[in-house]
Amino acid sequence: MPEGYITARKEIRITKHAAKKMLALDLTFDDIKKAIELGEKIREGRSKMRYVFKGKRGVLVVICHEYPDHRAVKTVLKGG
């Protein structure tokens, strides 16, 4: 991405399932947001995306559906 290029940020919505997984894995909304913004983006279908972020706390995987006006986080996975 060229320097100075600004991407439009979509609203991030968390499903009940993803919220339960976040609590179980001791993750915050900021962790999810960071994974989406800085992680590797992998397309898994027409609207399904997987974001993989490798940080100090391990590997964080966020699976979400992309809609025109928002992202809906479906589930969250964490690896060592």
- Residue 59 backbone zone (phi > 0: left; psi -120 to 50: alpha; other: beta): beta
In the three-class reduction of DSSP (H, G, I as helix; E, B as strand; rest coil), residue 36 is classed as helix
The helix/strand/coil state of 73 is strand
Q: Which CATH superfamily is domain 11-79 in?
A: RelE-like (3.30.2310.20)
What is the share, in percent, of the chain residues with pLDDT greater than 70? 89
Q: What does pTM read for this prediction?
A: 0.84
5: pLDDT confidence band, cut at 50, 70 and 90? low
